[in-house]
């Protein structure tokens, strides 16, 4: 199956972002992708309070309706980056990946487990200010592919991916909005490590560029194969990266170097 990582430079305007996402999903489908993944917060890149304002209930809302319609229109699986979802109490939000089947049905959702915090004296982030953490790992069958779901900062916690490999996944998805600072240092390094140690493909759609709210994200959306080879990458700006997920390649790597079978812990 061909898969696509969509890169965006999202704005504080939800309607504009949804229009851009719909266009890019169409581009990915036209390129032959059967599964399309959007970046973290593709729908909204603003202030923390904006996430609360636009948080959607589990049973739908305009962001989820757009994703369902796009999946149905193009006949593709859609990993909906992340959206703000109603949390445990007023003013609290979950950072949620919804997954839609080609018929537009919502088939899975994953709430980001690990909440990012960073302070180097110049940049400061604390997702826990408004976000609730998720509770459990989620993998979903998307056609012929078993897909493990994760989000951005989750990438730094290899134990999550080990859990997702029971049974093994074909593809790990990492929709992200890495900062310029952390992305330049660690993004490709961590993505390739997760692919190599789990001997599967990694699909990493990202925010990439200078945003209207003043933030700069690293971008470099990419697809990595089970040997750690980067099959495609986009540095910055809106666009789509497409590559094939080949089950024969997964089987070849796992046969030649049976590391998963050698695990003792």
230: left (phi over 0), alpha (psi -120 to 50) or beta: beta
* Pair 176, 207: CB distance under 8 Å: yes
Q: Given this model, what pLDDT does residue 59 score?
A: 87
Q: Residue 19: which H helix or E strand, with range? A: helix 14-30
Which of the following is catalytic: 152, 169, 200, 236? 152
Each residue of 193-235: pLDDT tens digit?
A: 999 999 999 999 999 999 999 999 999 999 999 999 999 999 9
Q: Given this model, what pLDDT does residue 88 score?
A: 83
Average pLDDT across the chain, whole number? 97
Q: Given this model, what pLDDT does residue 125 score?
A: 85
- Assess whether 152 carries a catalytic annotation: yes
* Residue range 2-256 in CATH 3.40.50.170: no
Segments making up each domain of the chain, as ranges: 2-256
Side-chain-side CA neighbours of 14 within 13 Å: the count stands at 14
- Assess whether 40 carries a catalytic annotation: yes
Q: Around Cβ 12, how many Cβ atoms within 10 Å? A: 15
Which of the following is catalytic: 51, 112, 169, 236? 112
Which stretches of the chain drop beneath a pLDDT of 70? none
Which of the following is catalytic: 40, 56, 127, 236? 40
Give the integer Cα–Cα distance in Å for 202 and 220.
13
Is residue 179 classed exposed, middle or buried when 0-12, 13-18 and 19+ CB atoms within 10 A define those classes?
Answer: buried
pTM above 0.95, yes or no: yes
Each residue of 9-31: pLDDT tens digit?
A: 999 999 999 999 999 999 999 99
Tokens of 47: 């202030």
């Amino acid at each position: 199956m061909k898969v696509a990582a969509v890169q965006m430079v999202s704005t504080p305007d939800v309607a504009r972002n949804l229009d851009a996402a719909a266009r890019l999903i169409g581009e990915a489908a036209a390129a032959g992708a059967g599964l399309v993944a959007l970046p973290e917060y593709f729908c909204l890149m603003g202030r923390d309070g904006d996430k609360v304002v636009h948080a959607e209930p589990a049973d739908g809302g305009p962001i989820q309706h757009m994703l369902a319609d796009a999946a149905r229109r193009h006949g593709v699986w859609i990993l909906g980056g992340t959206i703000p979802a109603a949390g445990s109490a007023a003013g609290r939000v979950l950072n949620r990946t919804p997954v839609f089947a080609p018929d537009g049905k919502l088939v899975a959702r994953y709430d980001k487990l690990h909440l990012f915090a960073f302070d180097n004296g110049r940049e400061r982030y604390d997702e826990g200010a408004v976000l609730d953490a998720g509770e459990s790992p989620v993998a979903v069958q998307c056609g012929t592919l078993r897909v493990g779901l994760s989000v951005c900062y989750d990438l730094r916690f290899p134990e999550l991916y080990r859990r997702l490999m029971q049974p093994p996944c074909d593809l790990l998805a990492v929709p992200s909005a890495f900062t310029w600072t952390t992305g330049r240092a660690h993004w490709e390094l961590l993505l390739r490590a997760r692919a190599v140690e789990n001997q599967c493909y990694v699909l990493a759609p990202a925010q990439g560029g200078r945003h209207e709210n003043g933030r700069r994200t690293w971008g470099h959306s990419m697809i990595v194969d089970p040997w750690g080879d980067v099959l495609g990458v986009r540095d910055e700006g809106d666009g789509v990266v497409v590559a094939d997920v080949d089950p024969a390649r997964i089987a070849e790597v796992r046969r030649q170097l049976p590391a998963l079978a050698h695990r003792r812990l």
